[in-house]
Amino acid sequence: MSSPESSPYSDTDAAPHGKARATEWPLWEIFIRGQHGLSHRHVGSLHAADAEGAIKNARDVYTRRNEGVSIWAVPASAIAASSPEEKGALYEPANDKVYRHPTFFDIPDEVGAM
């Protein structure tokens, strides 16, 4: 939904994209909780004039086929994003510390979905 000229994250340090076009509605990130889902998941983004419009647009763009039971709309400018250049520093140190990876536990069936 977004175009290169738009500026989803202009308020954050992470990824400057330039200013939004004057005639363009603000960008919103849409999260939807599915029928059996436990948490809201990011499904995409769209443009809308205000929060109410964003929910309505999300209903039309993302939930036509019975995908969801709850919608969150978040102004894209309110999202702080990590920078791709810092990927190495942020994530790689964990790679060689397997003892931190939570893969050595058996999860009892009674716990259900985690």
Partner 1 sequence: MSNALFEYLCRMGDNTLVLGHRISEWCGVAPVLEEDIALANTALDLIGQTQLWLGLAGEVEDKGRDADRLAFHRDVWDFRNLLLVEQPNGDFGRTMMRQFLFDGWHLAQLRGLMGSSNDQVAAIAEKSVKEVTYHLERATDTVIGLGDGTEESHKRMQAALDRLYPFVGEMFIADAVDEEMVSADIAPDPASLRPGYDAMLDAVLAEATLQKPADDFAHKGGKSGARHTEHLGHMLTQMQWLQRAYPDATW
User: How far is the first Cα of the chain from the last one, in angstroms, to the nearest whole number?
Assistant: 31
- Binding track, positions 64-103, relative to partner 1; x by CB under 8 A: x---------------------------------------
For the chain, give the number of residues.
114
Among 47, 71, 73, 76, binds partner 1 (CB under 8 A): 47
Q: How far is the CB of 27 from partner 1 (least distance, A)?
A: 11
CB-nearer residue toward partner 1: 34 or 53:
53
Q: Which of 10, 15, 25, 79 binds partner 1 (CB under 8 A)?
A: 25
Residue 49 interacting with partner 1 (CB under 8 A): yes
Specify the long-range contacts of residues 91-94, CB closer than 8 Å, at least 24 apart: none
Q: How far apart are CA 81 and CA 71, in angstroms?
A: 21
Q: Is the dihedral of CA 61, 53, 34, 7 positive or negative?
A: positive
d(CA 74, CA 30): 6
- One residue of 13, 60, 106, 109 binding partner 1 per CB under 8 A: 60
Q: Can you give the binding site for partner 1, defined by CB under 8 A?
A: 1, 25, 46-49, 52-53, 56-57, 59-61, 64
